[in-house]
Amino acid sequence: MCDQLDAGLLRRQKQRMDKFEEQIAHLIRAVDDLSDIVARQDSEITVLSRRVEMLMRREGEREADSGSAVTLGNERPPHY
């Protein structure tokens, strides 16, 4: 009788361990997938930051080249 109880207990413990191992495998896969996504996003953010910096610099140069011409609401547009 005691052997049957021990065998049943061992079988349940093995089933629980198998379930835990499966869950851990899924979590490891999810962490790896998220790590890849974060690495890709970091690269994209770096590229986009460089582009924004370039555009800001270009716009600053354009404003400097055009002078400080401020168009007021009551001025006529140049095509009149």
pLDDT per residue as tens digits for the range 3-61: 787 888 999 999 999 999 999 999 999 999 999 999 999 999 999 999 999 999 999 99
Which residue stretches of the chain are H helix?
2-65
- What is the pTM (predicted TM-score) of this model? 0.60
Alpha-carbon span 41 to 32, nearest angstrom: 14
Residue type, 29: R
Alpha-carbon span 40 to 42, nearest angstrom: 5
